[in-house]
Copies of this chain bind each other. A is one copy, B any other.
Amino acid sequence: MTTVVQKFGGSSVADAARIKHCATRVADAVRAGKRVAVVVSAMGDTTDDLIELAAQVSQAPDRREMDQLLATGEQVSIALLAMALQAMGVPAVSLTGVQCGIRTEGVHSRARITGIDNRRAVHEFERLRVPVVAGFQGVHAAADTGFVETMTLGRGGSDTTAVALAAALGADECEIYTDVDGVYTADPRVVEDARLLDRISYEEMMEAASQGARVMHLRAVELGRKSGVPIRVLHAMRHGPGTLICEASDSMETQQAVTTVALKADIGRLTIAGLPNRPGIQRDIFERIGAAGISVDDIIQNDADDGAGTCTIVFTVDQTDLAEVRQIVEAAVASIGQGTVHEDLGLSKVSAVGVGMQSQPGVAARMFKALADAGIRIANITTSEIKISCLVDEADGKSGLRAVHAAFNLGQAVVPSRSGAVSSSV
């Protein structure tokens, strides 16, 4: 018997009508003979509304109490979805994080799942009831007292719950229902002939997610890769095959150098020149930035050709963090006693992602040529095994994305559909 976990996000359950629609998707799968468990997010703006309420009573609300508060959002949507299923004649039972045995670490507001005790969900399967599980939340029991605490999982939490539950239930697939049809070769709002992918590897999806693709959170994809759960991204309101995120197959690797291209905007760059390149100099700088809770994107370092043993460190951050990072870096440079700081605003990053580039030469050159032919200046280049990223002026971002997309023949008209490969393996 096929087991699937279906996950519906906040916009998919934003009101009673949409909840009923989601219930029909669940009912369809049940009637098709599948064993289904469901994971749901909080309805629409519920989480924002609760955060606003908290702000009205406290300027700096405690994280534990925020978890207690926010966890109610999912508890409302699971109960309503379970009711909607029952009203359609599909036996269902809602389960909070604690009821579903979703155990987490003890860090409030961004707890990581440590394990799922699947007994309750299996019990409901045996009674032919659909478990409707609250996403984004879990429970932590204190080691000494055993007292239970409500925990939330932070960004991407509901996707992560769904993948973890799929793993715990040995599900054949984890279906993530969203407001897009799946994963594309590029953002279809920017690239007109972007093509829906039948499948993409975990690694590619992780790179694409960290380079600006907003379809799924990195964290859930990473968990899917670790646990080997195939994840399908689908549109909640439209029918379609969606995109399967799974292990890279040989055919995938050899077929094409690049699978998808991504664009990340609003990037700021900081250049620290003339630094003494002594051991520990990087730690001095980046420990301070980390302590401020700011995420650094790419870091590049080069020795300077000045005969004085200095080096240049260049790194990128979200543009909104740039002013704060600059202050931190200037303080660091002042205490080091040598170096100059320079900032650039208004940058975008164009990335090409594909496991195929590992076995195909000339991919980088092809990308650089595409940008050059479009008259686009490249400010920085960073690469990983399956990704090439070029920093460009914000004004050139979209045209750069289109140029790279075209250079690798990713468009609908050019490349034949790979649906044959998908249907043979699903």
Contacts and interface: CB of A to CB of B under 8 A. Distances in A.
Interface in A135-152: 145, 147-150
A420 B20 CA distance: 62
Interface stretch (A74-82, A195-203, A207-215): A74-82
A385 to B, nearest CB: 45
A319 interface: no
10 contacts: A19-B57, A20-B57, A57-B84, A62-B82, A65-B83, A66-B79, A68-B78, A68-B82, A75-B75, A120-B145
Interface in A42-94: 50, 53-54, 56-62, 64-66, 68-69, 71-72, 75-76, 78-84, 86-87, 93-94
Complex copy number for this chain: 2
Contacts of A83: 54, 57-58, 61-62, 65, 69
A147 B99 contact: yes
Residue from the set A19, A57, A86 with the largest chain B CB neighbour count within 10 Å: A57
A58 B82 CA distance: 10
Nearest to A20: B57
Nearest to A78: B68
Contacts of A53: 16, 76, 80
A96 B139 CA distance: 13
Nearest to A124: B147
B94 A65 contact: yes
A59 B87 CA distance: 7
Contacts of A80: 53-54, 57, 65, 69
Interface residues of A, number: 45
B20 A148 contact: no
A98 interface: yes
B62 A68 contact: no
Contact of A86 (B58, B68, B79): B58
Interface string A232-264: 000000000000000000000000000000000
A399 B247 CA distance: 83
Main secondary structure of the interface of A (DSSP, over half): helix
A366 interface: no
A53 B150 CA distance: 25
B87 A58 contact: yes
A155 interface: no
Contacts of A34: none
Contact of A72 (B59, B76, B84): B76
A123 interface: yes
A148 B81 CA distance: 20
A112 to B, nearest CB: 21
B68 A84 contact: no
Contacts of A76: 50, 53, 69, 72
Contacts of A150: 96, 99
A229 to B, nearest CB: 25
A78 B67 CA distance: 12
B87 A79 contact: no
Nearest to A15: B56
A84 B80 CA distance: 30
A53 to B, nearest CB: 6
A370 to B, nearest CB: 51
Given A119-B145, A123-B145, 19 more contacts: A16-B56, A53-B76, A54-B79, A58-B83, A59-B87, A61-B86, A62-B86, A65-B79, A65-B83, A68-B75, A68-B82, A69-B75, A69-B83, A72-B75, A75-B75, A98-B98, A99-B148, A99-B149, A120-B147
